[in-house]
Structure 1
Amino acid sequence: MLLVLSRAPAFAAAPVSTSSTDQSRTASSQNQVSSNVFRHSLSGLYGIKAFDSRPTQPYTDFDILYSKAHQAQAELETICKSTALLTNSDALFAGVKSQARAQEKI
C-alpha cells in the first residue's frame, strides 16, 4: 500500500486584494505560480526511475500472518486518522477481513 500526501507550497497562494483590477491581476499571477509549481512537481515525478517490485509476505505460515493482521490494521488506522485530522477529513475503515476471506485473497 502506498499513501502519498501533498500540499501546495505556501507561496503558491497569492494575497487577496479588494479592487477588481488587482483581483484579476492576482488571479492570473496566482495561476501562473501554481502552474509553475505544478510543472515542477510533475518533472520530479517523471524523474523517478521505474523499478520492478514483487513484494512478498514476511511469513510463509498463514496463521502467523493472520495473527499480525489486527496489529497491522490498528497501525494503519492510526496513520490514517492522524492524516484525516490534518486535512479536516474523515477516515473510514472496514476492519480486518475474516480468516476465510483473507485465505481467498492470498
Structure 2
Amino acid sequence: MHLFKDDLQVGDVVRSRKPPTARKRQVMDVPEGTVTGLETDSDRDGYALVKIPGVPKPVRVSVSTLERVTSGLTAGDWVRLKGECCNHFPVGILHSIQRDGSVAAGFIGLETL
C-alpha cells in the first residue's frame, strides 16, 4: 500500500516502487534516476522518461511503477526521530514528503500526523 500518490514533475528523482509484499531489498528496474520528460495518456497515468546514470538514453517507464525520492526517503518508509521524544514512541511511517522538504509522518502513540 502506498500512502501518498504524488504527481511527478520533470527534474524529480525517482525509483521503482517496491512491491508491498517484498520484505527484502530487490533489484529494481529503475534503481534511481531523474525524470526528463512526461507523457500523459487519457486512459492511464502515463509514462515518464527517466535518465538513469550509466544508461545512454532515457528509459520510458509507467508512472504507476515509480515513486519520488527525497533525500533517499519515500512515502511509506519507516523513520525514527533523533534526540528527545516527548509523549510518543519515536518510530513512525512517512505519509508524505512535500517538495519544500516538510514531511507528514504517523508516530505510534499519536492520533494525528
Shorter-normalised TM-score: what interval?
under 0.3
With normalisation by structure 2, the TM-score equals: 0.20
With normalisation by structure 1, the TM-score equals: 0.21
Task: Tell me: higher relative CO, structure 1 or 2? Use CA pairs within 8 A at least 6 residues apart.
Answer: 2
Higher strand share: 2
| Bigger-Rg structure (1/2) | 1
Higher helix share: 1
